[in-house]
Amino acid sequence: MTASVPAQPRHPALAGADPELAALVAAEEQLQADTLRLIPSENYVSAAVLEASGTVLQNKYSEGYPGKRYYEGQQVIDQIETLTAERARALFAMDHANVQPYSGSPANLAVYLAFLQPGDTVLGMSLPMGGHLTHGWGVSATGTWFNGVQYGVRRDTGRVDLDEVRDLALAERPKLIFCGGTAVPRTIDFAGFAEIAREVGAVLVADIAHIAGLVAGGAHPSPAPHVDVVSTTTHKTLRGPRGAMLLSRAEHARALDRAVFPGLQGGPHNQTTAAIGVALKQAATPEFRAYAHAVVANARALGEELAARGFDLVSGGTDNHLLLVDLTSKHIPGKPAAKALDRAGIVANYNAVPYDPRKPFDPSGIRLGTPALTSRGVPVSEMGRIAEWIDRVLTGDEDTIGKVRAEVKELMDAYPAPGLPVG
């Protein structure tokens, strides 16, 4: 089916220059408006963040840092980057902030470049257990160029065992330790990891890409008092554009800055820097704090409703925005489950669960999150209905899926998404 441009296009210049692409953008806007987005790493940015992302800052090339550029005409750009970095330092209570990384993976690569030599050992969470590719996993450059050692979670609890982490650290003597991941539904014990890092003389990095907004809003403990470096994306729970930041203690500022530029990147994406600045200002408000706590309340309620319907939750529930659901007892793998939910207008992703006997591209679980639905204002009282929809879709036929799709659309119409057209 070919998308069509609305009679009065929302993006008139784009529609005039490229109707085909304008139609696709409009179709994506409609898809985001009509569907219940439960992918934990997705969210809706505000209209202000969206607007900042599309400004004339796109026209600038700004290699270097404020006051030390390789191009002239940076008088305004320097102020924008300085302001954004100041907001980042204040919000996360860190000495230094670099707001130039293009995304989360390049930010983590910069950490390696700042502190390690090829072949050095890094300790991170295993990818199938909830970690990230860039924490030393084998198929990543970080596991190819460095000696990646992984910790996991306990079979009986689904939680990180710090005794195991300590034993691995003492045996392997890593120079770098990552805490955090992409499918971790429980509170990260930054203080516990810091104690282990001190024992072995390792640099401790908290990758809070998923929970940055919860940290900013006081809904998750802050890593700031405990770690050397904080790496984070700026989308997800922080509700900013697709970018990243590195924050650190003052002693690591120069090494990290040199690793980002000239080590890995050229000129920063200034329009993204400005949009990050907007998001950081919004994240410092009481309204955002209420949002962060509502994200967690919704996730806990959704988890309880799913558990009441016989779904198995890794670690038994959640402390944050994320639920990892093992569908083994439901006799449906994660991939067909995610596709069935998608047909019903419920957008999730299939995901490996700890000790998963199935292959990564056809795993046993799905991953759910509440940041996006909370941004729409969907209240905790609706989590029971959402759990019921998931149950109906995964146990029903195509007729059931169609009925749920209509009900999802009705709920989404009642809670319009920020930054998207209404109607």
Query: Considering 84, 182, 207, 228, which one is annotated as catalytic?
Result: 207
Question: Rounded distance, CA 88 to CA 11, Å?
Answer: 32
Active site residue 60: no
Ramachandran assignment for 67, one of left (phi > 0), alpha (psi -120 to 50 degrees), beta (any other): left
Query: Considering 34, 51, 63, 189, which one is annotated as catalytic?
Result: 63
Give SS3 for 105: helix
Active site residue 242: yes
Give SS3 for 98: strand
Query: Considering 51, 61, 249, 385, which one is annotated as catalytic?
Result: 61
Query: Considering 60, 242, 281, 289, which one is annotated as catalytic?
Result: 242
How many C-alpha atoms does 88 have within 13 Å on its Cβ side?
30
Active site residue 63: yes
Query: Considering 233, 273, 370, 374, which one is annotated as catalytic?
Result: 233
Per the CB < 8 A criterion, the answer to whether 208 and 231 are in contact is: yes
Per the CB < 8 A criterion, the answer to whether 6 and 26 are in contact is: yes
Active site residue 87: no
Query: Considering 236, 300, 335, 367, which one is annotated as catalytic?
Result: 236
Give the residues across from 128 on adjacent strands. Answer: none
b/e per residue 124-156 (b: at least 16 CB within 10 A):
bbbbbbbbbbbbbbeebebbebbbbbbbbbeee
Axis crossing angle, helix 75-92 with helix 270-283, rounded to the nearest 10: 40
Among the listed residues 31, 131, 35, 40, the one whose alpha carbon sits nearest the alpha carbon of residue 325? 40
Give the number of other CB atoms < 10 A from CB of residue 159: 17
Question: Rounded distance, CA 193 to CA 169, Å?
Answer: 10
Catalytic residues: 61, 63, 207, 233, 236, 242
